[in-house]
Amino acid sequence: MIDVRLHGARGAFVLNAVFSVPADGITVVRGSSGSGKTSLLRAIAGLEHMIGHVRINSEPWQDGKVFVPPHRRHAGYVFQEASLFAHLDVRGNLDYARKRAPASADFDGVVADLDIARLLDRSVHDLSGGERQRVAVARALMATPKLLLMDEPLSSLDRAARDGILPLIRRLGQKLPVLYVTHDPTEAKALADRVLRMDNGQVTPENLSNGLEGLSQVEIERLALAALRSGLSPRPE
């Protein structure tokens, strides 16, 4: 489970996030800009310090006095702008992550998944926006993260580039848990196994028509099994 209870104030803005979602698939955090999505993601990563706890599969990243510094959390983070290291080429950027990873990454696999083999020896200055973001995702994966945090990674891209990357991210969700922040309903719909809504710093699970759309396949199966066992109809109230 991804178990989060975070509370923090940035000036007049107050963030209050309490949620617990399964550590699998893609959890989309949806909200308008200024709703606190980025602050939430940064606090989970440990880049910002808020009060509360963050536990990933019962491993505490933050709990009471415990505050694991970001470089020991092994969370992948994809920023809104690719934020590649300008002094390294594409391969250098990937190797930077690989050298520091707790486990050995499947270099060729990741390169193939994100279709960046032909970019490896290029300078990061010669990449298009879409290529940069693909390299940024690949770099995050080379660090073999336990959880991938993505902060509107497609928002600065044009439609074509966005459509090219969406299916790649969709597939990532089958390999590791992803927390994906966006304001875009289309992206949310294309990616989400479940959706959390963020409004004015408050997090609520999104209510959808049949009550199942926000849940992952595993959760739906679990609900269905439980319902069948107790002899009820498989539709939760």
Partner 1 sequence: MTGWEVLLDKAVWLTAQLAAVTTLCLLVIATPIAWWLSRGRSLFKDVIAAIVALPIVLPPTVLGFYLLVALGPNSPLMVLLQPFGVRTLAFSFTGLVIGSIIYSLPFAVQPIRNAFEAMGKRPLEAAAMLGASPLDRFFTVALPLARRGFITAALLVFAHTVGEFGVVLMIGGAIPGKTQVISIRIFELVEQLDYTSAHRLAGGLMVFAFVVLLALLMIDRSQGRKVDA
Letter for the amino acid at 31? G
DSSP state of 30: E
The smaller minimum CB distance to partner 1, of residues 8 and 76, is found at 76
In the complex, the smallest distance separating the C-beta of residue 74 from partner 1, rounded to whole angstroms, is 7
Residues 69, 159, 210, 231: which binds partner 1 (CB under 8 A)? 69
How many helices (H) and strands (E) the chain has is answered by 7, 11
Residue 194 binding partner 1, by CB under 8 A: no
In the complex, the smallest distance separating the C-beta of residue 49 from partner 1, rounded to whole angstroms, is 13
Tokens of 231: 């002899």
In the complex, the smallest distance separating the C-beta of residue 138 from partner 1, rounded to whole angstroms, is 12
Residues whose CB falls within 8 Å of the CB of residue 98, separated by 6 or more in sequence, listed in order: 104, 105, 107, 142, 143
In the complex, the smallest distance separating the C-beta of residue 66 from partner 1, rounded to whole angstroms, is 18
Residue 15 binding partner 1, by CB under 8 A: no
CA dist 75 and 148 (Å) reads 6
SS3 209: coil
CA dist 172 and 137 (Å) reads 10
CA 38 to chain centroid, in Å, comes to 11
Cα dihedral 148, 37, 209, 219, rounded to 10, equals: 30
Residue 125 binding partner 1, by CB under 8 A: yes
Residue 107 binding partner 1, by CB under 8 A: no
Residue 100 binding partner 1, by CB under 8 A: yes
The smaller minimum CB distance to partner 1, of residues 44 and 188, is found at 44
Q: Which stretch binds partner 1 (CB under 8 A): 54-62, 80-88, 109-117, 178-186?
A: 80-88
Residue 176 binding partner 1, by CB under 8 A: no
Residues 32, 85, 128, 171: which binds partner 1 (CB under 8 A)? 85
Q: Which residue in this structure is represented by tokens 């510094």? A: 69
Residue 86 binding partner 1, by CB under 8 A: yes
Which has the closest alpha carbon to 106: 144, 148, 73, 146? 144
Cα dihedral 58, 19, 234, 186, rounded to 10, equals: -120
Residues 55, 68, 96, 156: which binds partner 1 (CB under 8 A)? 96
Q: Which stretch binds partner 1 (CB under 8 A): 58-66, 67-75, 106-114, 175-183?
A: 67-75
Q: Which residue ranges make up the site for partner 1 (CB under 8 A)?
A: 45, 47, 69-72, 74-77, 79, 81-87, 96-97, 100-102, 124-125, 132, 139-140, 142-143
